[in-house]
Amino acid sequence: MILKVLKGKRFKEEFVVDADKSISHRCAIFSLLSEGENKIKNYLKAEDTLNSLEIAKKLGAEVREENNEIIIKAPEKIKEPDDVLYCGNSGTTIRIYMGLLASNEGFYVLTGDEYLRRRPMKRVINPLKNIGANIDARDNGNLAPIAIRGNKLKNFNYESPIASAQVKSALILAALYANKPSIYKEPFLSRDHTERMLKGMGAKIDQKINENNECEIEIFPLENKLSPLNITVPNDPSSAFFFAVAAAITNSQAIIKNVTLNPTRIEAYRILEKMGAEIKYILKEDKYEPIGDIEIKGKELKGVEVTQNIPWLIDELPALSIAMAVADGKSIVRNAKELRVKESDRIKAVVENLKRCGIEAKELEDGYEIIGGKVKEAKIDSFGDHRIAMSFAILGLLAPMEIEKAESIYTSFPNFFNLFKKIADYRIIDAN
Ligand code: S3P
């Protein structure tokens, strides 16, 4: 599918984006650890999160929809599925399920689409193997498909070399089924939805974070099943960020409704502020997560250096690169090597596509340099990556863009096209 963005306009609009992807995945997966009915409002119905829910069903969960709520009832014991478990494009699905399934009896095979099957899985497989997991995978135990023979695992004291919420979540789940408490350390606090939600369900998890945001978590084995979730999933600040950038680059105004304001998720908005946009955060409630609105007013943008707190804005870097492309002066992103192993190599994808738009950009091993300039009409290769496709759709507000493989947008943000209509003229070609 090709997305042809023809023209954009200045706007003052409200955006109610789709539900948070990270939290929705966790609702589906963590329901399996509970007793009783989990009630989930505003579950994200995108390809990735529907795959997580489908897998929960294959593992024995009963799922039904009632009055706009998804209700999930876990089986007494996780059921051995009679087919492979398909995770589509989603790293979160495959990695978090690995931790759960490696520690629950049964045989499981996890796989995904051509992009997911290229992404590194050793970061979860190795620490799980070290505590006794029976896992094997293609490419010497690194690439999906992954085969797991679930069994009883040992407790651990593991210091992760990377700040990854997916690795952390997999190991926390494994630790809940061990016989003694475990310790997980990460070099920088990654998004903490797993800790917040599992604690909310009654798990005993103690977290210590120091002033450098180094993090140590103690996880105690489950004595009983967890209480069910009763949650309204907030909207996704990462999805909303495309419209924040849209406002920033067109001198417009965007009001983003009901997103999580969790500090591990809104750092990119802080950078946009540093570049010159005017931003207000309006906290409205705080149960599992702080939730509220964000208002963005576009102003002249200037170049910025982004080298810190990278895990808190990693998913928004492609969209930020669009603001950098039109800002006055040079911007630099460093310490962001993880970008190379996301849904695509996002360092390469950002730089190659910006060059096609006439913007001076250079790849670094762990980031890029961008010199702001005048954008020209271009054909964009999204590399099958939803966030690359949506980022360059936003750049289409300034010059016509033809974006290839735009169907990936449905993996995370199906309502994108409807909202985009408010601010741009576009056509979709080749949709079947
Ligand atoms: C996610 C964690 C992040 C993020 C991804 C979603 C999650 O990856 O990039 O889009 O829901 O746990 P890491 O595992 O690298 O933190």
Residue 372: give its domain's CATH number. 3.65.10.10
Would you say 246 and 3 are in contact if contact means Cβ atoms under 8 Å apart?
Answer: no
Same domain, 61 and 130: yes
Give yes or no for residue 36 having a pLDDT over 80.
Answer: yes
Look up 315 and say whether it is catalytic. yes
Same domain, 187 and 244: no
pLDDT digits 0-9 by tens, 273-283: 999 999 999 99
Same domain, 185 and 271: no
Same domain, 80 and 227: yes
Ligand 1 atom, smallest distance to 315 CA: 9
429 conformational bin, left if phi > 0, alpha if psi -120 to 50, beta if neither: beta
Q: What is the pLDDT of residue 288?
A: 81
Tokens 């990654």 appear where? 190
Helix ranges (DSSP H) in 114-266: 122-130, 138-141, 165-176, 193-200, 237-249
Res. 222 pLDDT band, cuts 50 70 90: very high
Give yes or no for residue 61 having a pLDDT over 90.
Answer: yes
Give yes or no for residue 299 having a pLDDT over 80.
Answer: yes
Ligand 1 atom, smallest distance to 26 CA: 11
- The last residue of one of the domains, among 183, 206, 232, is 232
Tokens of 192: 């903490």
Closest C-alpha residue for ligand 1 atom 3: 165
- From the list 48, 315, 381, 385, the catalytic residue is 315
Tell me the CB-side half-sphere exposure of residue 128, using CA atoms within 13 A. 38
**Whose CA is closest to 59, among 37, 23, 84, 41?**
84
Give yes or no for residue 188 having a pLDDT over 80.
Answer: yes
Q: What is the pLDDT of residue 198?
A: 98
Give yes or no for residue 432 having a pLDDT over 70.
Answer: no
Q: What is the pLDDT of residue 430?
A: 85
Pocket perturbation via mutation, ligand 1, pick of 164, 188, 239, 241 by most ligand atoms within 8 A of CB: 164
For residues 241 and 314, what is the distance between their CA atoms, to the nearest angstrom? 12
Tokens 């590399």 appear where? 383
Boundaries of domain holding 257: 2-19+234-429
pLDDT digits 0-9 by tens, 377-427: 999 999 999 999 999 999 999 999 999 999 999 999 999 999 999 999 999
Same domain, 172 and 238: no
For residue 1, the tally of other CB atoms under 10 A from its CB is 16
Same domain, 96 and 146: yes
Closest C-alpha residue for ligand 1 atom 13: 164
**Whose CA is closest to 210, among 187, 230, 229, 182?**
187
Q: What is the pLDDT of residue 192?
A: 98
For residues 1 and 404, what is the distance between their CA atoms, to the nearest angstrom? 6
pLDDT digits 0-9 by tens, 231-245: 999 999 999 999 999
Give yes or no for residue 361 having a pLDDT over 90.
Answer: yes
Pocket perturbation via mutation, ligand 1, pick of 119, 172, 314 by most ligand atoms within 8 A of CB: 314
Same domain, 136 and 243: no
Query: Over pLDDT 70: what percentage of the chain?
Result: 100
For residues 92 and 96, what is the distance between their CA atoms, to the nearest angstrom? 6
Strand pairing category for 360-364 and 367-371:
antiparallel
For residues 19 and 8, what is the distance between their CA atoms, to the nearest angstrom? 25
What is the average per-residue pLDDT within 239-265? 98
Same domain, 241 and 207: no
- Residue 226: DSSP 8-state: B
Q: Give the total number of structural domains in the chain.
A: 2
Ligand 1 lined by 164 (C-beta under 6 Å): yes
Same domain, 117 and 220: yes
Closest C-alpha residue for ligand 1 atom 15: 164
For residues 297 and 275, what is the distance between their CA atoms, to the nearest angstrom? 12
Ligand 1 lined by 165 (C-beta under 6 Å): yes
Distance 329 CA to ligand 1 centre (A): 30
Ligand 1 atom, smallest distance to 169 CA: 12
Tokens of 394: 């936003």
Distance 201 CA to ligand 1 centre (A): 21
Same domain, 282 and 145: no
For residues 44 and 231, what is the distance between their CA atoms, to the nearest angstrom? 13
φ and ψ at residue 129, rounded to 5 degrees:
-60, -40
Ligand 1 lined by 92 (C-beta under 6 Å): yes
Same domain, 170 and 221: yes
- Residue 200: DSSP 8-state: H
Measured CA to CA in angstroms, residue 236 lies from 5, 14, 22, 233, 393 at distances of 23, 14, 8, 9, 18
Buried b (16+ CB within 10 A) or exposed e, 290-327: bbbbbbbbbeebebbebeebbbbbbbbbbbbbbbbbbb
Res. 431 pLDDT band, cuts 50 70 90: low
Distance 164 CA to ligand 1 centre (A): 6
Same domain, 205 and 353: no
- The last residue of one of the domains, among 232, 261, 287, is 232
For residue 432, the tally of other CB atoms under 10 A from its CB is 4
Q: What is the pLDDT of residue 287?
A: 82
For residue 49, the tally of other CB atoms under 10 A from its CB is 29
Would you say 260 and 234 are in contact if contact means Cβ atoms under 8 Å apart?
Answer: yes
Q: What angle do CA 236, 354, 372 make, to 5 degrees?
A: 90
Give yes or no for residue 308 having a pLDDT over 90.
Answer: yes
Q: What is the pLDDT of residue 224?
A: 96
Q: What is the pLDDT of residue 306?
A: 98
- The last residue of one of the domains, among 232, 257, 291, is 232
pLDDT digits 0-9 by tens, 322-341: 999 999 999 999 999 999 99
